[in-house]
């Protein structure tokens, strides 16, 4: 089975979901991710907050090292597609990208871009962003764990 996660920049949400699911090392499961506007962003291969989470959870060995842009060919060969938000789904739908019948739309909020524009933040604002990134990762882990259960139960049928 091939699963693909789609977000906006492919530097935070979809990458965290991809890495977390890859870390489960489920046999015969291929996992990847992309962003609907990844080629337009200049923020680097992954956000500092995502990198921090991956290092803290010893997951860096499962990550891809650069972002990928979502394109027609990207989605064509996947069995299951996860959109991190309705906006990501709508962008792909408006471009007539293939999504098949097996997809989900998760309500995972995008990262607050406050610190991604080179602005300096005070300590309290930085701590708040770190806490929010941890909450987002917790939501992603819960959703991925639910997805795994769904896949395993459908494989038993």
The predicted pLDDT at position 114 comes to 45
For residue 5, which phi and psi values (nearest 5 degrees)? -105, 140
Which has the minimum average pLDDT: 6-15, 86-95, 130-139, 148-157? 148-157
Residue 94 lies in a domain: yes
Residue 57 lies in a domain: yes
Say which DSSP state 35 is in: E
**Spatial distance between the Cα atoms of 94 and 117, rounded to a whole number of angstroms:** 28
The predicted pLDDT at position 119 comes to 62
In this prediction, residues 118-146 reach a mean pLDDT of 87
Task: Say whether 28 sits in a helix, a strand or coil.
Answer: coil
As a whole number of angstroms, the longest Cα–Cα distance in the chain is 53
For residue 71, which phi and psi values (nearest 5 degrees)? -140, 170
Q: Are 47 and 116 in contact (CB under 8 A)?
A: yes
Task: Say whether 7 sits in a helix, a strand or coil.
Answer: strand
Residue 18 lies in a domain: yes
Say which DSSP state 9 is in: S
The predicted pLDDT at position 61 comes to 94
35: closest CA among 63, 62, 5, 64?
Answer: 5
Rounded to two decimals, what is the model's pTM? 0.89
Residue 157 lies in a domain: no
Confidence of residue 19 (pLDDT cuts 50, 70, 90): very high
| Domain coverage including residue 115 | 2-152
- Highest mean pLDDT out of 44-53, 122-131, 142-151: 142-151
CATH of the domain at 123: 3.40.50.2300
The predicted pLDDT at position 101 comes to 77
**Number of independent structural domains in the chain:** 1
* Greater pLDDT, 120 or 98: 98
For residue 81, which phi and psi values (nearest 5 degrees)? -120, 135
The two three-digit tokens of residue 113, written as one number: 């871009």
In sequence order, the β-bridge partners of residue 4 are 32, 81
């Amino acid at each position: 089975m091939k699963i693909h996660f789609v977000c906006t920049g492919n530097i935070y949400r979809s990458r965290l979901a991809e890495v977390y699911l890859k870390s489960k090392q489920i046999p015969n499961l291929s996992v990847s991710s992309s962003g609907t506007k990844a080629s337009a962003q200049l923020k680097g291969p992954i956000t500092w907050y995502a990198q921090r989470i991956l290092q803290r959870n010893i997951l860096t060995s499962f990550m891809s090292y650069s972002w990928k842009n979502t394109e027609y060919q990207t989605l064509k060969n996947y069995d299951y597609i996860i959109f991190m938000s309705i906006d990501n789904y709508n962008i792909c739908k408006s471009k007539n990208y293939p999504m098949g019948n097996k997809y989900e739309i998760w309500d995972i909020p995008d990262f607050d871009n406050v610190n991604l524009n080179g602005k300096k933040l005070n300590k309290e604002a930085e701590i708040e962003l770190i806490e929010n990134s941890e909450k987002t990762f917790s939501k992603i882990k819960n959703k991925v764990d639910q997805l795994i259960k769904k896949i395993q139960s459908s494989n038993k049928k």
